Amino acid sequence: MKKNIGIFNLLLIFITFIALDYITKLWAIKNLFIEAQSIQLTPFLSMTPVWNSGISFGFFQDSGEIGRYGFTAFAFLVSFWLIFSSFKLPKYSSLGFVLIASGAIGNAIDRILYGKVVDFIDFYVDDLHWPAFNLADTIIFIGACVFLFSQFFTSESSYYEK
């Protein structure tokens, strides 16, 4: 039997990343959004306030209240499924699922509180900007990478063949 992380540890990871996301967004609202300012960190990175009423990369920006509540409900449903599924999976697969769920819930909390998502990390080269994002988006990406890595490059890939 493959070793898993354990329910307590998975829930601790889940709550920790939701809290970290929330704290970074509170910082952004206080320091970027209220003053409507951008903070230049490097020649290719700034902290710039962006309200995102859509989903990843700003898709579906004009979805209105249906999008707000629909995206929120979808995020909660998928996240609960990922969390409960993670309890039965090997460690890297379960870690990937929990990271994805925590990022999704972090953005869903924004939709509940503000009606849109707080994005503020802005990578760019000259005038070419990657869509602004936040810690929750980063956590989702890392979780997907961890899960895919576990499927292709670890012994966990044989777990699903049973």
> Tens digits of per-residue pLDDT, 89-111?
999 999 999 999 999 999 999 99
C-alpha distance from residue 43 to each of 16, 76, 138 (Å)? 31, 37, 21
Residue 103 Cα to chain centre, angstroms? 3
Q: What is the C-alpha to C-alpha distance for residues 1 and 103, in angstroms, rounded to an integer?
A: 29
Q: What is the pLDDT of residues 72-82, one digit of tens each?
A: 999 999 999 99
Amino acid letter, 148: L
Query: Which residues participate in catalysis according to the annotation?
Result: 119, 137
**Least confident stretch, 44-58, 59-73, 128-142:** 59-73
CB 115 within 8 A of CB 53: yes
Domain definitions of the chain by residue range? 7-155
- More confident site: 144 or 158: 144
What mean pLDDT comes out for the span 145-157? 89
Residue 11 in tokens: 């829930």
